[in-house]
Structure 1
Amino acid sequence: MLFVSVSDGGLVGRCISSAVIDKDRLTQAMGVCGGWPPSTALPMFVLVCLVSNISVPPVAFMLSTQLNPMAEDNRLAPNCICQLKRSVTNILKDGRRVVVILDMEVVKSADEVAGKIGEPQPYVEGESSAHTAFLTITISYGLGGQKWTIRARVTNKSGIRTWSNSRGDGKLFSMEIVDESGEIRVTAFTQEVDKFYSIIETGKVFYISKGSLKIANKQYSSLKNDYEMTLNGESTIIPCEDTQDVPMVQCNFVSIADLQAREKDTILDVIGVCKSVSDVTRLNTKNNREVSKRTLNLMDQSGKLVEVTLWGEEAETFDGSGQPILAIKGAKLSDYGGRSLSASFSSTVMVNPDIPEAYKLRGWYDKEGHSMAGQSLTEARTGGGGGGNTNWKTLADIKTEHLGHGDKADYFSCIATIVYIRKENCLYQACPSQDCNKKVVDQQNGMFRCEKCDKEFPNFKYRLILSANIADYGDNQWVTCFQESAEAILGQNAAYLGQLKDSNEAAFEEIFQQANFHTFVFRNRVKLETYNDESRIKATVMEVKPVDHKEYSKRLIINIRKMASTQ
């Protein structure tokens, strides 16, 4: 039998050592502790945490990710007796062996053992003095070295993303894989994209060898793993037909009601019933790329609703008929208009997934949830003057309610009229690259230089930034309008306005004059900013829509009735 000594004071990063003890001594030790639990056979492999200072052998034990709570809540403590139920052995690059613990039970707690058992002797093999650490592993086999192979299931595969900058062009894709010990994110760049992208299929199991590990960027991943893997020129990926015991996707679902307490931009997992869904819309990004978008509302047992945005192919293919269960792994949380979620580039979207949480949610919804209206955490943005949950304010409320003075920006909608637009410096010449809107410098030789891209171009594109004064019945406010909202106000695109400014100044002036005294629904972002020791509110228009007077009238009638009922 193999015993392991863990130095007192914690687990992670502590040195371990081992001692050999025979079965009779083990049985005697267990007798001191009260014997084996009923109906439990003597295990083939037992880990006993003992306090000692003996030398460290070339063997280390590691906890797989799902066993972390055993260390965090001190169930795994010095002097406790543990039974190993499942484990694997890995050989590191320097020849050391690591036993990866996949499943383990604390048979006797440290308090029950009440001290060290016997006098364990150090196990010495050669004169090795290598120190190993008790570590929390990545995915069970992949820590350190290059001589390893893992068998894991692909739970998510992204599309190929490209980039172009001063250092050159490139591309990448990422995937998430899972085995019985945990999950990890894997990224491939450039040559490895060409080599592996067509091989990888979501849901399939593969043998993966020789990747590089680095600290994970938690900003872009919800995986419970401190590391992520990068494929390199020596990496291999081979399809595996033996898929038994390889788990499916692992999710750590957050209740919709709990989204209120989470920080903006948090990456998390969520599951809910699709209560409603919009049609697909198409919009142009800042890079003039058309993308599909679809919004829907999810509700769970908390009775709360949240708006979720799907993009691209997910938006095109999603079918919300029959109010399906939708699970999203790696959704990004936004505070725009309350709380909302977006399925990002690396998210996994699952419709009616074959997981216990989905069946439980379906049972609840069919029994009682279907009759609930639900309370939305997201402000309605159907706009046009309508009601819903939109945060309607007047411009005077910016001052009276001190909007924008908190730690975060405030968002509100208002109906206001354009009073004046500054046309000076409203257009600028921007970099023509798809992913760049940086202002270019005219080289006076027919070329335009972008400092961000570190390139010169024979052309440019026009971008709009408007400074406008809007007013309602109570106050007025200067606002900044960027490309999309500026084009909506002026009724013309930036490219046409740029050409007109160069060729027909009078016609250019007329467009600005015609935009005055038009009324719109403005969705605004306000935040107190300080510049040159002077603090003032900066208001930015996020969206501009025409007024739906029918919906606006309904809202006014509702407000009048509310006011009348309080008199």
Structure 2
Amino acid sequence: MVELTTGAVERLANNLSIAEPILQIVSSPNADKKNELQAFKIYLSDGNWGIQCIVAKERLPPINTTNMKKFSILKLTQFETGMYEGKVAIIIYDFETVLVDCNAQIGQPKKYATGTAATSVPAANKAPPQQEIPRRSNSGAGMPPNSAPSPFNASAALPMDFASEFNKLPLAPNGQVQTQPIASLTPYSHSKWCIKARITVRSDIKTFVQKSSGGQGRLLSCDILDEEGGETRIVCFNQVLDKFEPILHKGGIYYIHKGSIKTPQNKRFCRFDNEITLELDSVIVPVNEDSSTSSDPSMQSSIPKMKWDFIDNIANIEQVRVDVNIDVVGIVIEINEPQQITLRQRNVQTYKRSITIVDDSQRKIEITFWGNQATDINNTQPTNPNSAVFIKFGDSLSMRNVRVGEFQGKNLTINNTSYMEINDQENRRCVELREWWEREGKNIYRTFEGIRGTSGAYGGGFGGKKLRCTFMQAISEGAGTNTNQPDYFSIIASPMIFQRENMFYSACPNEKCGKKVDGNHCQACQQEVTPTVRFIVNLLLCDPTGAAWIHLFSNNAEQLFKMKAPDMFQLEKEQPEVFEKVRNDILLKPKLWRVKASVDSYQDQMKTRYTCIGLDNILYAKESREFLSEITEYLTDEEKERNGIISLPPNEAPDAMNASTSTPGRFEDIKSPNMGGFQNQRF
């Protein structure tokens, strides 16, 4: 009989060191219905105590009933103690299945709360106090945070407000601030996290209309960088903005403690893996810049001023899809005067100015500046004295976080978080371009061409075109990130789980309306109606490369369940067991899905929404022909002739002519006398 690790739950809950604990699942794995991070919730027990656990989304595709179900016994090999919904939780990154089919619960575990099991583990087995550290385990071993010495010799070195705030930071017994790298932060990180970072980019304060109240909201964001090169963004709204805006300055170094860590749903608006939303109880303490000149090496700041991730050269921008943010550097060859234009969508007037740069790839590209950023260039009386910028012909211009656009060829546009550096002598790439410019560039730049637009399959995101892909391709290529138009693709995938219990809603019976109604009044039609029942289904679709939640409505859901919504609704009320069988029968059965990916806004956050617009059974013979056709593209004509390969295009295949009524076909008369290829194929 497998023995569970006694006292493991208490150690895990209190951040005590423990190596590869063996625990039992005492609840069925469920999908996280509230959180958008695509994770599974389980409840693990050591026989005495139980605690909630989250299986991170990196492990989502491999999880199934063959390696994780109720009463299964797991060995945790990579994990972290964090917070979930305000409670302590164990974040599982990797595990090994010790025993899948265990038919009974071991012990009578109780729900663990901090402090309830203080005597459940023998004192001899408890870790010493200095091991109580936030960690992300790697093969069961903890990773201690960085202990940064305080740059203040006494509270007098700070204003009183900062001195009191400093005492709220997580401090070691010797008074040092305990920090961790930005790269170690996750949405499930423990609330005691603290980072030390420099502000590299500070945006202007933006205003927006709050959907909840209709009032005006304000937003400030700052990109930050730590000494290990990790980057993220801090964001503050309204009252929080009023609290922190006066102390947040570009180039300043700060301790940052507490805040809501989220994963950006749309890389177009945030290029980092995580984003921190500051709250009223967040703690920000400036680091005394004078400490960087101290003779004590430990007191000197090693955080760089900026981290650049330049694209190799301007010519490579041709391969970058639209709406992606990049870093670029080049030599200025043209500076246009600002032009006043009217934005049609908002009917407001603003200014734009374009600057053209070149590099040693012998290509050029235009960068567009907007508003005050356009008028402040080469302006002796700028709107903000600190924002005056002077650029001249032949200067090297480094641009961070500029967006790739396309209009009569590729171009670049600055945004609220863009940053520029002129004649940066500390950057090796800038020095190389300066040498190239003086050597030959200034004599030949007039012959350089611009960057052509993408006429291929992708364009902006997927370019609105329909194509076959996998989830990995759809996400990496940016399907559903173009705000101007949705993207469409088809995919072979299997439904895994349902996200919500309720699959129905009361709708207006008018086919042209179909909106949700409360009672008998349709707000959209402004009339009394007799509501009808319609489907609203959220499914997790998985293929071998990834997974995504997809929404199904009306006809597509009825096609999936092979039942009308009112009938399915009645079945749920009258025969729940039959209803569950009908619902679960569609799981783990692959189909060909046609999907629309579009940008959606939820709680002022931009994310990609996937909606099913059609589904079909898989025609395996047709799919096989398409695979074989793709394979033959890698063969030379000589190899095809030697192997006698003759294949018809997929759309000429017999079962492709009537896809809606045909049944999966089979290969006929395929002979393969050797491993060199297929011969005498007839499809």
Query: Is the TM-score greater than 0.5?
Result: no
Question: TM bucket by the smaller chain?
Answer: 0.3 to 0.5
- RCO (CA 8 Å, sep 6+): is it higher in 1 or 2? 1
TM superposition score normalised by structure 2:
0.37
- Give the structure with the larger strand fraction: 1
